[in-house]
Amino acid sequence: MSAPRDAIVIGAGVNGLVAAACLAKAGRKVQVLERSETTGGQSRLLEFAPGFRADPLDRDAGWLPPPVARELGLTGLERVIPRATVAVPAGEGEWLVLSSDAARTAQAIRPHSARDAGKWGVFCGRIAALSGFLEALYTLPPPDIDTTAPGELLSLLGVLRKLRGLGRADMIELLRTVPMSVAELLDDWFELDPLKAAIGASGVTEIRQGPRSGGTAFVLLHHHVGAAPGALRGRGYWRAGPNALTRAAETAARGLGVEIRAGADVARVLVKDDRVTGVALAGGEEIAAATVLSSADPARTLLGLVDPVWLDPEFLLALRNIKYRGSAAKVLYALDALPDFPGLPLAGEAFAGTVTLSTSLEELERAADAAKYGRVSETPFVEIELPTLRWPALAPEGKHVLVAHAQWAPYALREGPWNPARREALGDAVTAAIARVAPCFGERVRQRAVLAPPDLEARYGLTEGAVTQGEMTLDQILFMRPVAGASRYAMPLEGLFLCGAGTHPGTGIPGGPGWLAARRVLSGRRHGARP
Amino acid sequence: MKRYDAVLVGAGHNALVAAAYLARAGRSVLVLERRSLVGGAAVTEEVFPGFKFSVFSYVVSLLRPEIIRDLDLPRHGLQILPLESTIVPLDGGDYLGLWSDPDQSRRELARHSPRDAEASQVFGRLMQHMAMAVKPILGMVPPDPASLAPSDLRGLLRLGGHFRSLGAERFHALYKLMTMSSADYLDEWFELDPLKATKAASGIIGTFLGPRSPGSAYVLLHHYMGEIDGAFRAWGFQKGGTGAISEAIASAAREAGAEIRTGAAVARVRVRNGRATGVLLESGEEIEAPLVVSGLDPRRTFLDLVEPGLLPDEVVEAVRRFKIRGSSGKVNLALSELPDFTCLPGTGPHLRGAISISPSLDYLERAYDDAKYGEFSRRPYMDIVIPSMIDPGMAPPGKHVMSIFVQYAPYHLNGGWTDARREAFGDAVVDTVACHAPNLKRAIIGRQVLSPADIERITGLSEGNIFQGELALHQLFFLRPLPAWGRYRTPIRGYWQCGAGTHPGGGIMGASGRLAALEILGRRTG
């Protein structure tokens, strides 16, 4: 056995790297073990065709919590907010392009609906206020009903004060909005179908529900944490590259003395006398440490790496009941040239946002129905990005990458497993959807790769291919995440912690879970009551 | 001009309860009902000579024990006969039986799944604890979370204290019930699809939700909160139909001095200087009262009864946003003979219980999908009871009545509820039941089909929604029916609301009526 570390971190994605860096900064000796040959986790670039690369999982830069950035000196990263955030077909060959500037957006909406244009600014303000409250919640460990520690009670009171500080109207609006469906929220505000579809899409991304389902308004708010006010669906991207944040986190970690080992696949967490003693790699090598943090998802960690004999049967049951519901597929296209979207200026506007192809909430709802019955949507909900418009180096000169996100493509299909034929059928459906608005699209395609949920699972180690590490439904957030009673990062096994998106605050908050988990480790508090 | 202390608009069961409490406190009370009989959606009518239908609501469970006690309802005729079973016909000719006797239920379940038989016991106990955890909330006026008034803060603290006293485990279980879909919740407990579907069905009653919709587990819990003689989750049938419940409450109200007038439709609430001063009837008659209490749904209460311009714009907006979509239909049949169910042929105790057409979660979910896109379910969920088996007085000797509650029949039907569509709906329902009981069609002497449009037309319930507004999380508790107006008051002084569109919501509970009355009287609750 090699020299003992204070802590081992499993997974060199952003959360693992941030957790490791925070521990190292506090003087701990930390080693990060990464299964694949490259670091970066979800943000790793995938070369899906010779010379063509993409980062299919990250939809935007997410919200890097300021305390995390400050602690690790990650303040130099520049985030670009695209001027055009979302474009949606608005009928008769026209497009509605939303901007990160609310006034511009209102102007774009006006010819289609003066009424909606007039409400746009107020709506943006409302979303900003509500998601702003979530920001406060997301820099704290989740409050729970049995909180007794004075520090936590104070934080809880702080959150409650901030809630009341929203003012009566906004506070009630928050309590009212969170459980709502995004369809109902948008129907209350707007009349224009494509506008509602463009915004509503954000409420059903990475969730196996349609826009009429309760809790999707919360998902919309969650995806807007950290967005600049007025920039709906415009959280932006890192100027330096899709994996700029993970590279910066890695640099910071190494600078603080963290050892990072790639090609090291952790097969088991070693336990003796109800305490963690280290890990064993796939080859048999054992590495000792009294503290192990895993940024892998809860199922992979606790059901995959830990012998069940060390875990309470009720806890195991609760773990098995976590819903992952991976139902997003990615279709990657290597293009010989930029496709032409008639009516939508792409290169001219340096269009670096998202093109969404569903034009009504009803279309989204119908597409979502299929997933309930274990089928792929007949007419999938497709959103596309052209990352080469942000980062030209992802493809050879003059060529482009197009990333299509397709829902709903459930991990487990009733008719049988994902096979090449089913993948191609999905790829064809997505190509057809794009071709409907970009007629010559097919001709530009040099090569195509379809990543169905099992492919995402295999490549990124995500259970059911769920990038969220646990669906972001109301029953699986805050003190319920990953399971009730074990939501403060420490697991019911002494020395074992979770630090990935499967813990609060969840997906799209890079470094948030890692930082909060590290703080929990440093606080020295043992795990509390069992679930 | 006649003058009273309080005028109640509508004689639905909540308004009758409110009237009784106000009268017992010494107020002079007048109840005004548009129809010729009291009860609202809890009425018994002899639609075909000799055949009595509980036209709309048909079973009871949630009637508050404190109301039964305070108003001495058994003396006024309340007599609830328990439903002992639910039978679920399965594809292939078998059935699943759920019995109120726990041993019988376990034996029957074990026949299909020993695992579920055991789980059912534990589940039942947990749900009972959950119901007890929530019960106090049914009896409290919702505190206002944004208020700094001492009484509101006390209420909030009490509520917080109540949740903490549950302990983490129960609090988390309750939180799951408040946020999950009934299908997901039940998937964690059971493996038998028809068992899950039948339980999940109580999560879709009167809602625009499917079993896989988040929020349906709350509705499941809501329906679990009923008690009869202290036994939770027991449903029963009132002797003489649900109309007899309304008559019993009306009798108690009259005994306390309340006057009830039928055939007296209210057109407007009279308002002067922001205060209610009485009501104007459609006949032109004026009645003075400093207190006007509406038992009608929020849309009627705020928009129809009040002169335009008297309410702030944001209140009107909020009322228009309040979701009140009707999704339920009813088919009442007069039968010459009992239905003969293939899965359990002949007469038997099972015909004294309910028959649930809920073979699988997918079945319910597909029924919901139809409704989402503006159609009635081609293969609907149905809850069927044969009241004459429990109370022979409901039909002539040897003959029977069948009550069929149906989900889904959306109020906003593509092309509207024409007579042809209503009949097609009735046919779809009868055809589906006939699949399971082939003698049904020849046994039908009379048929009454009620779409949500009919429910609205007859009872006044907006969009035919049986709960006076959907039981969705964002429309419950202090948000019901509107943020800032969830405590039985309205912006007009002296004008109150007491129907199911207020906390705690729908079902034949009477809780809204009682809490509204106690608020009016200034009595502490909860």
Q: Is B348 on the interface with A (CB under 8 A)?
A: no
Same domain (yes/no): A140, A21: no
Q: Which of B146, B365, B369 sits opposite A164 (nearest CB)?
A: B146
Asked whether the predicted pLDDT for residue A294 surpasses 50, the reply is yes
**Residues A472, A507 contacting (CB under 8 angstroms):** yes
Our CA-based measurement puts residue B159 at a distance from the nearest CA of chain A, in whole angstroms, of 12
Report the C-alpha gap between A466 and A507 in whole angstroms: 10
Interface test with B, best of A174, A176, A471, A488 (most B CBs within 10 A): A176
- Low-confidence residues of chain B, pLDDT below 70? 226-233, 524-526
pLDDT band at A529 (very low <50, low <70, confident <90, very high): very low
In a domain, A211, yes or no: yes
Same domain (yes/no): A209, A314: no
Question: Which residue ranges make up each domain of chain B?
Answer: 2-42+59-81+237-323+467-520, 118-232, 328-408+414-450
**A249-258 burial code (b ≥16 CB/10 A, e <16):** bbebbbebeb
Same domain (yes/no): A492, A417: no
**Residues B328, B409 contacting (CB under 8 angstroms):** yes
**Residues A257, A29 contacting (CB under 8 angstroms):** yes
CB contact under 8 A, B145 and A171: yes
pLDDT of residue B372: 97
Interface test with A, best of B178, B179, B361 (most A CBs within 10 A): B179
- Looking at chain B, which residue has its C-alpha nearest residue A188? B321
A469: nearest Cα among A136, A14, A66, A70: A14
Same domain (yes/no): A371, A457: yes
A contact set with B (CB within 8 A): 144-146, 164, 168, 171-173, 175-180, 184, 188, 209, 212-215, 321, 323, 362, 365-366, 369, 372-373, 473-475, 479-480, 484-485, 529, 531
pLDDT of residue B152: 78
Chain A contacts of B213, Cβ < 8 Å?
212-214
CATH code of the domain containing A377: 3.30.519
pLDDT of residue B295: 97
Report the C-alpha gap between B70 and B252 in whole angstroms: 10
DSSP B308: T
Same domain (yes/no): A280, A230: no
CB contact under 8 A, B213 and A214: yes
- Looking at chain A, which residue has its C-alpha nearest residue B163? A145
pLDDT of residue B153: 79
| Interface contacts (A, B; CB < 8 Å) | 94
Residues in a beta bridge with B400: B335
B16: nearest Cα among B508, B454, B501: B508
pLDDT of residue B525: 57
- Written as one string, the DSSP assignment of B368-410 is HHHHHTT---SS-EEEEE-HHHH-GGGSSTT-EEEEEEEE---
Of the CA atoms within 13 Å of residue A523, those in its CB half-sphere come to 17
Interface test with B, best of A218, A474, A479, A527 (most B CBs within 10 A): A474
Name the region of A398 (left: φ>0; alpha: ψ -120 to 50; beta: rest).
left
The count of other CB atoms within 10 Å of the CB of residue A340 is 14
CB contact under 8 A, A144 and B184: no
Angle at A255 between CA A253 and CA A256, to 5 degrees: 65
Q: pTM, whole model, 2 decimals?
A: 0.94
Strands B286-288 and B2-3: parallel
Report the C-alpha gap between B245 and B45 in whole angstroms: 13
Our CA-based measurement puts residue A106 at a distance from the nearest CA of chain B, in whole angstroms, of 22
In a domain, A130, yes or no: yes
CB contact under 8 A, A173 and B483: yes
Given A169, A204, A235, the domain boundary residue is A235
Q: Which of A164, A214, A321 sits opposite B473 (nearest CB)?
A: A214
> Residue B389 corresponds to which amino acid?
M
Q: What is the mean pLDDT of residues A465-474?
A: 98
Both structure tokens of B462:
């907006």
**Residues B40, B199 contacting (CB under 8 angstroms):** no
Calculate the alpha carbon distances from B169 to A6, B164, B173, B477 in Å. 33, 10, 6, 23
Q: Is B145 on the interface with A (CB under 8 A)?
A: yes
Same domain (yes/no): A399, A279: no
- Looking at chain B, which residue has its C-alpha nearest residue A216? B214
In a domain, A420, yes or no: yes
Chain B contacts of A474, Cβ < 8 Å?
179, 214
Report the C-alpha gap between B416 and B395 in whole angstroms: 33
Our CA-based measurement puts residue B147 at a distance from the nearest CA of chain A, in whole angstroms, of 8
Report the C-alpha gap between A403 and A398 in whole angstroms: 17
pLDDT band at A528 (very low <50, low <70, confident <90, very high): very low
Q: What is the mean pLDDT of residues A377-384?
A: 97
Q: What is the pLDDT of residues A209-256, one digit of tens each?
A: 999 999 999 999 999 999 998 999 989 999 999 999 999 999 999 999
Tokens 């729908």 map to which residue? Answer: B506
Q: What is the pLDDT of residues B15-66, one digit of tens each?
A: 999 999 999 999 999 999 999 999 999 999 999 999 999 999 998 888 888 9
Q: What is the pLDDT of residues A296-334, one digit of tens each?
A: 999 999 999 999 999 999 999 999 999 999 999 999 999
Same domain (yes/no): A459, A328: yes
Report the C-alpha gap between A521 and A30 in whole angstroms: 12
Chain B contacts of A147, Cβ < 8 Å?
none
**Residues B441, B312 contacting (CB under 8 angstroms):** no
Domain extent for A140: 99-235
Given A235, A254, A269, the domain boundary residue is A235
Report the C-alpha gap between A487 and A498 in whole angstroms: 9
Same domain (yes/no): A231, A266: no
In a domain, A70, yes or no: no
- Written as one string, the DSSP assignment of B56-104 is S---B----HHHHHHTTGGGGT--EEEP-EEEEE-TTS-EEEEESSHHH
Report the C-alpha gap between B500 and B249 in whole angstroms: 16
Q: Which of B209, B362, B484 sits opposite A373 (nearest CB)?
A: B362
> Quick one: which H or E segment has residue A198?
helix A193-200
pLDDT of residue A526: 61
Both structure tokens of B208:
């625009």
Same domain (yes/no): A444, A518: no
In a domain, A73, yes or no: no
Report the C-alpha gap between B196 and B88 in whole angstroms: 11
In a domain, A51, yes or no: no
Same domain (yes/no): A143, A186: yes
The interface pTM score, or ipTM, of the predicted complex is: 0.94
> Quick one: which H or E segment has residue A434?
helix A420-437
pLDDT band at A452 (very low <50, low <70, confident <90, very high): very high
- Written as one string, the DSSP assignment of B227-289 is EETTEET--EEETT-THHHHHHHHHHHHHTT-EEESS--EEEEEEETTEEEEEEETTS-EEE-
Same domain (yes/no): A335, A458: yes
User: Domain B2-42+59-81+237-323+467-520 sits in which CATH superfamily?
Assistant: FAD/NAD(P)-binding domain (3.50.50.60)
Asked whether the predicted pLDDT for residue A531 surpasses 50, the reply is no
CATH code of the domain containing A282: 3.50.50.60
CB contact under 8 A, B179 and A474: yes
Same domain (yes/no): A340, A370: yes
pLDDT of residue A169: 79
The count of other CB atoms within 10 Å of the CB of residue A3 is 8
Query: B307 exposed, middle or buried (CB, 10 Å; 0-12, 13-18, 19+)?
Result: exposed
Q: How many domains does chain A have?
A: 3
- Written as one string, the DSSP assignment of A56-71 is -S-SS-----HHHHHH
pLDDT band at A144 (very low <50, low <70, confident <90, very high): confident
Residues 456-495 of B with CB under 8 A from A: 472-474, 479, 483-484
In a domain, A231, yes or no: yes
Our CA-based measurement puts residue B215 at a distance from the nearest CA of chain A, in whole angstroms, of 6
